[in-house]
Amino acid sequence: MATITFPIPSTTTSRFAVAARSVPHDLNALLRRSPTSYQPHIAGRLGSPQLQATRDDLTSLHWDPTRIRAHRPEDRLAARFFNNATEFAVITAFAPITDQPRGVQVARSAAYAIAKATDGITADLVTGQILTPTPEREHFVLADHWIGDALPPFRANGRCTAPEPELDPEGVNGCTCVRLRTRGLSRFGLPELQMTEVACPHDLAALNVLRTTARRLLTDHWSWLATGPTANTRTIPSTLHLTQTDFDAFWGSARHTHLTPTAPFEITLAHPKPRLLTVSPPTTFNGTTNDWLWGDTLPLGIYDVIKAHPTLLHPAA
């Protein structure tokens, strides 16, 4: 059986930033009195490497606020404010991977608390995305903007003229515009995932394959970490069999019965760089990635589920 070996860091760093018109100098005091369900965790970590809160302005920044983007139309105004801001609160979590996901949840909860107190805008500096101002969940859901999963501009912002597969069979492989890559798995000690040479009509299917793969790898990774390994590398099979349950788990779905049971579908992982894994069809598949994505081997939801609430029994677009 072919395998892949990748390095495992002992600690990872995650950063969040809040842009506001006025950021208090004593952020620790603000966080100690901020009401949040994560308050005991925040108080216990504040001031340690696991939770640092600093105030920055444009003269002291070591990152570029103009690189933060809105991946949803409703976040564009918030992104514009963030890009033009001059004062920031930066929350840094430097923690063992065995402390995840709690470590990053505490840090993001602290960022949300500062944003609420200052009427500010929150961004994830790992994914480069504006974050929706919602309370941090007690349970972990990977779909909660942890891996920068977002669709690229459809049809390459109007530059792609490939035909639609429903109207012209040539459209199945009509272009290779779409390149998808996660940003955020690294904070959990995993390589990022990538899919390339995808045709525009299959972008959502490709994104959901990437999401499903990410959740399965993360679940397996935490199970492996629970065994207390001492190695600084990990070896996994290059062939992975994913199921509808893996897809549901990305959304935090609690459903246990499926109206239409589906067989597992197979993916192949490759390791072109130390911190990157590529996702592609099984080596036995006779066709392109787009043929595979357009076929009938994937769970139906992968073709139409853009977002879903974790409590939904049956995710819908």
Question: Quick one: how far is CA 304 from the chain centroid?
Answer: 19
Distance CA 103, CA 124 (A): 14
Return the closest-CA partner of residue 308 out of 242, 250, 257, 245.
250
Which pLDDT value is given to residue 254? 65
Q: pLDDT tens digits, residue range 194-207?
A: 999 999 999 999 99
Ranges of H-type helices in the chain: 27-32, 39-45, 76-84, 102-118, 155-158, 203-225, 244-251, 289-294
Which pLDDT value is given to residue 154? 86
Which pLDDT value is given to residue 255? 61
pTM over 0.85: yes
CA atoms within 13 A on the CB side of 241: 3
Segment 207-212 mean pLDDT? 97
Q: pLDDT tens digits, residue range 245-279?
A: 999 999 998 665 454 556 899 999 999 998 999 99
Instruction: Answer for the pair 192, 181: CB distance below 8 angstroms, yes or no.
Output: yes
CA atoms within 13 A on the CB side of 40: 2
Burial of 26 (0-12, 13-18, 19+ CB in 10 A): exposed
Round the average pLDDT of the chain to a whole number and report it: 92
Q: Which residues of 195-228 are buried (b: 16+ CB within 10 A; e: fewer)?
A: beebbbbbbbbbbbbbbbbbbbbbeebbeebeee
Which pLDDT value is given to residue 146? 97
Which pLDDT value is given to residue 311? 58
Query: Which helix (H) or strand (E) covers residue 3, if one does?
Result: strand 3-7
Segment 205-214 mean pLDDT? 97
Q: pLDDT tens digits, residue range 125-166?
A: 999 999 988 889 999 999 999 999 999 888 888 899 989 999
Instruction: Answer for the pair 109, 36: CB distance below 8 angstroms, yes or no.
Output: yes
Segment 5-31 mean pLDDT? 96
Residue scoring higher pLDDT (283 or 313): 283
Which pLDDT value is given to residue 313? 38
Segment 100-123 mean pLDDT? 97
Distance CA 130, CA 115 (A): 12
Distance CA 143, CA 132 (A): 12
Segment 88-109 mean pLDDT? 97
Return the closest-CA partner of residue 211 out of 98, 110, 308.
308
Distance CA 4, CA 184 (A): 20
Q: pLDDT tens digits, residue range 39-62?
A: 999 999 999 999 999 999 999 999
